[in-house]
Amino acid sequence: TGPVEFHGEHQAGIITPVQDRLHFAAFDVTTTKRAELVSLLKEWSAAAALLTAGRDIGQYGAVNGPGEAPPEDTGEAVGLPPARLTLTIGFGPSLFDKRFGLASKRPQALVDLPHFIADDLDPNRSGGDIAVQACSDDPQVAVHAIRNLARIGFGRVAVRYSQLGFGRTASTSRAQTTPRNLFGFKDGTNNLKLEDTAKLEQQLWVQPDDGPDWMVGGSYLVSRRIRMNIEIWDRTSLGEQESIIGRGKGTGAPLGKADEFDAIDFEAKNSDGDLKVAKEAHIRLAHPSFNNGAELLRRGYNFVDGSDGLGRLDAGLFFLAYQRDPRKQFIPVQNQLARSDVLNEYIVHVGSGIFACPGGVTAGSYWGEKLF
């Protein structure tokens, strides 16, 4: 329930042990003035430091201000603990267009994502100039944070879309148990974890030689709203479900193995000569040994946004993955999954974003200071 430090070498909310709840918001910048964008980022950073410490924002907070003015803080988090709130910012490709003179600062790794086979993207749930990921163990704390940032941004940014997530689908620390996604499988077993320090430098954090300078210590976030056709999945046999993923549903162990964290044996065969982990199983196609060593730090959430009017739940996975270079990581992995993954029969990608998340904020500095 305690606070997570906002300042540091890296932004919080990336390797921070994944919290239970998400409120993710993508913003369009509506002002055309660079100075207004900079002052917004300063105000947001000051507010983020207070919010993540579990404090009201502004000088007077929610209830101590003058009776004649709207309160500075909207108040619904009064009395709630910080609940490990983290706020993580990222800048989308569209921020680097002509409006703010940032075109020459656009990182080469911040590519526009290509169209992947079977993508069915809704433009109203895709893109965004700026993304803020709020994660907390308390849903109201996460919602309060985004609401107050949006309120501060009035006249300078507008919410383009936002997504609530109610349950984590990954762990980012070996101290956490592995949660389950809405297909009922343990998710996050073979994820990058904060204890893998050497690997994090290789796979997660932008290094000095990668450039640009303002991204060193940062990471690239790919977000995908993935609708899961859970009603169809629920009519699929247990054996079929397990062979699609490549793991046992109960234990989470790779097929042919006993324990969740046992290494996957991609060569093992059943007595009838078939591979235990099928050729097109999700964990084979996504595994680093079939992707030039590429790994991701996955940090996604389950969502159910009511129903779709056709008697089906609008449910799925809000996939969030951080990495050092999406050209070498998310894009090739997703290309391979989009081509061959048997899971595709049960999922469809309906929203998408890519964001450059700068290094951490030091006290007295603000989000993205080195970019301006």
> Would you state the structure tokens that stand for residue 197, as one six-digit string?
């320090």
Residue carrying the six token digits 């890296």: 10
Cα dist. 169→131, 155, 246, 345, 358 in Å?
20, 35, 17, 20, 24
Nearest distance from C-beta of residue 115 to ligand HEM, angstroms: 15
Q: Where are the alpha helices (DSSP H) in the chain?
A: 34-52, 139-152, 197-203, 230-233, 238-245, 282-285, 330-340
Instruction: Determine, following the binding rule CB under 6 A, whether residue 221 of this chain makes contact with ligand HEM.
Output: no
| Angular region, 341: left φ>0, alpha ψ -120 to 50, beta rest | beta
Q: Which is nearer to ligand HEM, 8 or 332 (CB)?
A: 332
The Cβ of residue 50 has, within 10 Å, a number of other Cβ atoms equal to 16
- Mapped onto helix, strand or coil, the DSSP state of residue 210 is coil
Beta bridge partners of residue 13, listed in sequence order: none
Nearest distance from C-beta of residue 169 to ligand HEM, angstroms: 8
Nearest distance from C-beta of residue 371 to ligand HEM, angstroms: 27
Per-residue buried b or exposed e for 135-171, using 16+ beta carbons within 10 Å of the residue's own CB? bbbbbebbbbbbbbbbebbeebbebbbbbbbebbbbb
> Which DSSP state fits 138?
S
Instruction: Determine, following the binding rule CB under 6 A, whether residue 18 of this chain makes contact with ligand HEM.
Output: no
Nearest distance from C-beta of residue 187 to ligand HEM, angstroms: 5
Q: Which is nearer to ligand HEM, 63 or 117 (CB)?
A: 117
Q: Which is nearer to ligand HEM, 220 or 330 (CB)?
A: 330
Nearest distance from C-beta of residue 321 to ligand HEM, angstroms: 6
Kindly state the number of chain residues that form the binding site for ligand HEM, as judged by CB under 6 A: 28
Q: Which of 83, 109, 149, 296 binds ligand HEM (CB under 6 A)?
A: 296
Nearest distance from C-beta of residue 181 to ligand HEM, angstroms: 5
| 353/221 Cα distance (integer angstroms) | 8
In degrees, to the nearest 5, what angle opens at C-alpha 333 toward C-alphas 329 and 339? 155
Stretch 315-354 residues interacting with ligand HEM (CB under 6 A): 317, 319, 330, 333-334, 337, 347
Residue carrying the six token digits 């007595």: 271
Stretch 43-82 residues interacting with ligand HEM (CB under 6 A): none
DSSP result, 143-209:
HHHHHHHHHHTTTTEEEEEEEEE-EE---SSTTSPP-B-TTS-B--TT---TT-HHHHHHHTSPPTT
Stretch 241-270 residues interacting with ligand HEM (CB under 6 A): 245, 247, 264
Instruction: Determine, following the binding rule CB under 6 A, whether residue 181 of this chain makes contact with ligand HEM.
Output: yes
Instruction: From 9-17, 48-56, 117-125, 282-290, give the range in contact with ligand HEM by CB under 6 A.
Output: 282-290
> Would you give the binding string for ligand HEM spanning residues 191-220, x where CB under 6 A is met?
x-----------------------------
Q: Which is nearer to ligand HEM, 145 or 164 (CB)?
A: 164
| 142/77 Cα distance (integer angstroms) | 9
Instruction: From 6-14, 117-125, 179-187, 357-365, give the range in contact with ligand HEM by CB under 6 A.
Output: 179-187
Nearest distance from C-beta of residue 288 to ligand HEM, angstroms: 6
Instruction: From 136-144, 151-159, 182-190, 353-361, give the range in contact with ligand HEM by CB under 6 A.
Output: 182-190
Q: What share of the chain is helix, strand, coil (3-state, %, to 5)?
A: 25, 20, 55
Q: Which of 146, 157, 281, 283 binds ligand HEM (CB under 6 A)?
A: 283
> Would you state the structure tokens that stand for residue 148, as one six-digit string?
């107050």
Nearest distance from C-beta of residue 351 to ligand HEM, angstroms: 12
Instruction: From 24-32, 88-96, 120-128, 223-231, give the range in contact with ligand HEM by CB under 6 A.
Output: 223-231
Q: Which is nearer to ligand HEM, 45 or 219 (CB)?
A: 219
> Which DSSP state fits 269?
B
Closest CA to 138 of 300, 22, 50: 22
Binding site for ligand HEM (CB under 6 A): 181, 183, 185-191, 224, 226, 228, 245, 247, 264, 282-283, 286-288, 296, 317, 319, 330, 333-334, 337, 347
